[in-house]
Amino acid sequence: GQQLNQSPQSMFIQEGEDVSMNCTSSSIFNTWLWYKQEPGEGPVLLIALYKAGELTSNGRLTAQFGITRKDSFLNISASIPSDVGIYFCAGQLLRDSNYQLIWGAGTKLIIKP
Amino acid sequence: DAGITQSPRHKVTETGTPVTLRCHQTENHRYMYWYRQDPGHGLRLIHYSYGVKDTDKGEVSDGYSVSRSKTEDFLLTLESATSSQTSVYFCAISGARVEQFFGPGTRLTVL
């Protein structure tokens, strides 16, 4: 089936550092979504991207839809403790007249004490 | 926040027993989804619905069935629960087939 490669799998960072994560695939996507999940809760939508090259911000978060439409990037600037959680990318593609949402395995963000 | 509730939030059951999980939405969204989440696998789609009585299989549908008799309710049934179905189950809804909004999850343990 379709696959999304999300990296890194986990990150240990110091408070105040910038964070970067990405998702790549061999498939072309129509839409990219970025979610955050905190322990014991469902994923929450952070940013949605709809066209190649699009750059969208949500506070300290910035995401980009790759120009090839096969990848997307999420950056978090000046990380704070509440950024801890698991970040998921999801890409939507049209296949056999049906839209499919393909999920990355997640990037776990951990703040060093 | 999207109005999505899941019940029960936690359940412990024994192998071989039937289990039904409920997802209820107040957003009148057309599409509803059931996912399971396991360490190392991320979110995997079990079944989805594109309207009342209209459902289809996802990538991990074996051992699960669904029903949608009303727009607001989507039920997931494990006919005979197995230990491999121990997982966290999430319901999601979508009105535009793009952004999906998730419920709080149900933690199911099959002993």
Name the band, by pLDDT with cuts 50, 70 and 90, for residue B2: low
Residues of chain A scoring pLDDT < 70: 1-2
Residue B98 to chain A, least CA–CA distance (Å): 7
Cis peptide before A43 (omega within 30 of 0): no
- Nearest of A46, A53, A26, A27 to residue A107 by alpha carbon: A46
Please report how many Cα atoms fall inside a 13 Å half-sphere around the Cα of residue B52, on the Cβ side.
5
The whole-number pLDDT of residue A3 equals 77
The whole-number pLDDT of residue B95 equals 87
Q: Which of A40, A41, A101 sits opposite B100 (nearest CB)?
A: A101
Tell me the pLDDT of chain B averaged across its residues. Answer: 94
Name the band, by pLDDT with cuts 50, 70 and 90, for residue B1: low
- Which chain B residues have a beta carbon less than 8 Å from that of A104? 42
Q: Is residue B11 predicted with pLDDT exceeding 90?
A: yes
Q: Is residue B71 predicted with pLDDT exceeding 70?
A: yes
Determine contact, residues A92/A99, Cβ cutoff 8 Å.
yes
Taking residues B14-24, what's their average pLDDT? 97
Instruction: Look at A103 and B42 and tell me if their CB atoms are within 8 Å.
Output: yes
The whole-number pLDDT of residue A1 equals 52
DSSP state of B35: E
Give the pairing type, strands A107-111 and A10-13: parallel
The whole-number pLDDT of residue A96 equals 72
The whole-number pLDDT of residue B40 equals 75
Beta strand ranges found along A9-84 (DSSP E): 10-13, 19-24, 31-37, 44-49, 55-58, 61-65, 71-76
Q: Is residue B68 predicted with pLDDT exceeding 90?
A: yes
Taking residues B29-34, what's their average pLDDT? 94
- Nearest of B78, B43, B73, B28 to residue B55 by alpha carbon: B73
